[in-house]
Amino acid sequence: MSSPAVDAVLATPAPAPTARTDVARAFAPASVGNVAVGFDILGHSMGEAGDRAEVRRLAEPEVRIATIRGCVAELPLEPHKNTAGAALLAMREALDLPFGFELTLHKGIALGSGMGGSAASCVAALVAANALLEQPLSREALYRFALEGEAVASGSRHGDNLGPMLLGGLVLATHERLLRIPVPPAWHCALVHPHCVLETRKARAALAGNYALGEFVAQSANLALLLAGCFRGDAALVREGLKDVLVEPRRAPLVPGFIRVKQAALDHHAFGASISGGGPSVFGWYACRADADAAASAMRAAFAEAGLDSDTFVAPVDGPAATLVDALPDEA
């Protein structure tokens, strides 16, 4: 039988009906996709960066994108070509809503960064739009709409970034469900984003080709060890499992200086380190904040040796979920 503590993280209740409002704003955090061994199905949120969305309710049954601001502005304004717009279109159609949405997006995550930028736009827009419904949906119910948006960016319906943004923390995301994985609160992640772009589609193209059966077996074993270690709070199990033998070898050449950056992460007592999402960001997991802070500085120095400036982020692995907020950054 499952314990009450485990049952509590299996699903989030649908929000209670709210008084009618015509505008809502939401923040969705960045994320570490794949977590090395969980390609397309495992990720955790990073609350140090994120996207914000403002959604207004329209009388007309349509979706519009009013403007996009922030660190990325050159994105499609046509809803079906935009990740957040596509997610809102999917929500409106599936629920057969008699009204529409107008979206203003403030990007806080660079695209092609390996920090879940496209997913954050989807989730922020959906969480804001959900607050405008007479009967708001649960976070799990929003997942299928977010998958439609993510497919616009990557050509694939995968939830490793979407799941942790919707539920918070470390999340196992299949096509059909989300499961939050317990993680000790002391464990921290160091995430370093070099100032270069690696498009998701290019990163996925690098994975084409044949794989040996033994590689799948080894990767499955490592994923099992990591998940068991998280449930037990056993750092030794996580340290044994946090090793990507399947995807990292093919993507590493796409990340300038990756070998030295990863070694810098490992030299500061990391449980393990690898490429975040499709890259080029690199992450490491640590037993405490002090180790993660020291590692982030060393990883940034390693990127500098490769000729790249970078941004560093340090936050608990058990990070926050997307949430409603009062204002977009330039309105505060």
Tell which residue, 85, 97, 80, 82, has the closest CA to residue 136.
Answer: 97
Consult the annotation and say whether 110 binds a ligand: yes
Consult the annotation and say whether 46 binds a ligand: no
Consult the annotation and say whether 111 binds a ligand: yes
Consult the annotation and say whether 115 binds a ligand: yes
Token output for 180: 């939050």
Consult the annotation and say whether 50 binds a ligand: no
3-state secondary structure of 140: helix
Long-range Cβ contact pairs of 4-13 (< 8 A, separation 24 or more): 5/182, 6/182, 9/167, 9/179, 9/180, 9/181, 9/182, 10/179, 10/180, 11/138, 11/140, 12/138, 12/139, 12/140, 12/167, 13/138
Consult the annotation and say whether 118 binds a ligand: yes
Consult the annotation and say whether 66 binds a ligand: no
Consult the annotation and say whether 91 binds a ligand: no
Consult the annotation and say whether 113 binds a ligand: yes
Consult the annotation and say whether 38 binds a ligand: no
Give the CA distances from residue 155 to residues 6, 131, 150, 201, in Å, rounded to whole numbers and listed in that order. 33, 28, 8, 7
Question: For the packed helices 117-130 and 139-154, what is the interaxial angle rounded to 10 degrees?
Answer: 140
Known binding residues: 110-120
Binding-site positions for ATP read: 110-120
